[in-house]
A = this chain, B = another copy of it.
């Protein structure tokens, strides 16, 4: 949808007093937090490990999106309840992928606590992550709109797993591309944001066109999340130095993919060989050399350009206006880069 096309909203009513993101968080978060722990009620290690993971917290953005959007699309109280249910479901699904993620990346700590695999072992981490996805799907199915959105939600989870698989492929590729990076990000982060906004729209009785457009906006928001994260790792946040941990960790970030495609072959090969050096052997000198290649090749500038374009498109979308404060908050960490132009 072009940002000017508001005909997708035809037939929808808008809340006379739209909620902002911060107000929605204050309003809905206590209920969502309690609901999450309750959603993982059950006997045995599977459920206690799921609750253990959920208690490590998180920003709960995915849980907040459906009720925020549904409210501002004029949902009545019972529709808002459904939206909260969907929010719980999406947050469970997101956290299921995190449990698998921590295992796959070998991360043994999350928010200062041992991760599920570190605490309960690899075997149970596989079970717990999978179970949380299924609990989320089951929660979606328990809502009135469940039957209409379940195929999209299921597809979103498949896209997350595909994105995850593609990330490992990228790390082993000798010629990663920006297109692959985008497919990976659209899957890993975009698809579930898409499902969150589609769910919130469907609950408020949005039609197919509105739902498609909501999904698309969520997808773009998710991709932006990723590219901004990649950029911040290299250029630093306000008051924070660039740390370039991605280079040490062997991550194929957007700028690395861009440089591999666009820098001269010798430099590109050198960059890739530094990125692929084992973390323990990646000295600060190697990181500096990689950063220098990224700057000199124009990869950082291209990334900043891309971030600017995407940020302005997101901020100008009617979906941003429907969720006041959300996109502003997402864009905040790169605001200094936007205003440099």
Contact assessment for A126 and B141 in the assembled complex, using a CB-CB cutoff below 8 Å: no
Interface size on A, residues (CB 8 A): 36
Residues of B within 8 A of A46 (CB): 161-162, 165-166
Contact B131 A133 (CB under 8 A): no
* Also in contact, A103 and B126, with CB within 8 A (given A141-B154, A162-B44, A169-B45): yes
Closest to A137 in B: B154
> Which chain B residue lies CB-closest to A126?
B100
Within 8 A of B (CB), among A91-138: 100, 103-104, 121-124, 126-131, 133-135, 137-138
CB distance from A183 to the nearest CB of B (A): 9
State which of B100, B126, B135 has its C-beta within 8 Å of the C-beta of A104: B126
A168 at the interface (CB under 8 A from B): yes
Known: A124-B165, A165-B45. A158 touches B135 (CB 8 A): yes
Q: Are A157 and B169 also in contact (CB < 8 A) when A126-B126, A164-B127 are?
A: no
Contact of A150 among B122, B128, B131, B150 (CB under 8 A): B150
- Closest-by-CB residue of B relative to A135 is B158
Judged by a CB distance under 8 angstroms, whether A34 is at the interface is no
CB–CB B162/A123 < 8 A: no
Closest approach, in angstroms, between the C-beta of A105 and any C-beta of chain B?
8
A151 at the interface (CB under 8 A from B): yes
List A residues 223-239 near B (Cβ within 8 Å): none
- A165 / chain B contacts, CB cutoff of 8 Å: 44-46, 124, 127-128, 131
**11 A–B pairs (Cβ distance < 8 Å), ordered by A:** A45-B168, A46-B166, A104-B123, A104-B126, A104-B127, A129-B130, A131-B162, A134-B157, A137-B137, A141-B154, A147-B147
Q: Residues of A with Cβ closer than 8 Å to B? A: 44-46, 100, 103-104, 121-124, 126-131, 133-135, 137-138, 141, 147, 150-151, 154-155, 157-158, 161-162, 164-166, 168-169
